[in-house]
Amino acid sequence: MEEENSRKEYVNFRNKEKSVVSHIVVPGLKAIYQLFYKEASAVDRGSLYQLRNLINRRDVSGPKDVTQKVRLHQHFIVDVTDAYILASFWEIMEVEEEDGLKQKLPVFSIMNEEQHTKWLIDLSLKNLDNLYLREVNNFEQINQDLLSLSTEDEKIKRMKANNYHLCPFCGNSFSSLTWFKKHLKNKHNWNCHVWDKNVNPTFAVKHFLFMSLIFRDTCNAFC
Ligand SMILES: [Zn+2]
């Protein structure tokens, strides 16, 4: 009986995990990669594409491969997000490397819990300002974009039979998802969801962090 219950619990857990991955993780990651991962930005220092080359993350290849390599793409976004936040923290503390940080930190052992918390909150707020994250952003647009992307994914999933994607318009079959999408777009004028391209490059880091932090929070809430 106990064994049966733990098996059921395990199956429930696995089903929940699968659902979180397909409805939250994949659309969220696709959104981030479609918007911020651009080959054209390979020479822009600190862009996703430049960082991916710099730290040699060859397995990360952009929005078209997110579904097949979810975790690799997710880990890269987590690393870049943390790196931006840490870089901003160093900027606020006016240090250029970790060793210099020790001299700038207060003596935590003589601070009480209240002082400790206040120091942490003040610093976090400074960090949010430094990254322009306290400015108002357009939640509604992000919400709409995520929704259309998820709907599109569902539609394409329904065209899958075994290991092939079957075109509902002409009956051709495709083993590659990328080619299938190209076929739908070119032969049948299928409108694949396209993100609003009007992201001001000056605020690219702000927009990226805004989305990746919401994405992180959402994943944490469900996992
Ligand atoms: Zn077709």
| pLDDT one-digit tens code per residue, 11-62 | 877 777 777 777 788 988 998 898 888 877 777 788 898 899 999 999 999 9
- Dihedral of CA atoms 103, 106, 109, 111 in degrees, nearest 10, equals 170
Which secondary structure element, helix H or strand E, spans residue 174, and what is its range?
strand 173-174
CA of 39 to the centre of ligand 1 (A): 29
Inter-residue contact 212 to 32 (CB < 8 Å): yes
CA of 99 to the centre of ligand 1 (A): 60
Q: Looking at the whole model, is its pTM more than 0.85?
A: no
CA of 158 to the centre of ligand 1 (A): 15
| pLDDT one-digit tens code per residue, 79-111 | 999 999 998 999 999 988 777 888 888 888 999
Tokens read off for 43: 């020479």
Give the torsion sign (CA, 83, 86, 88, 90). negative
Residues at Cβ < 5 Å from ligand 1 ion: 167, 169-170, 172
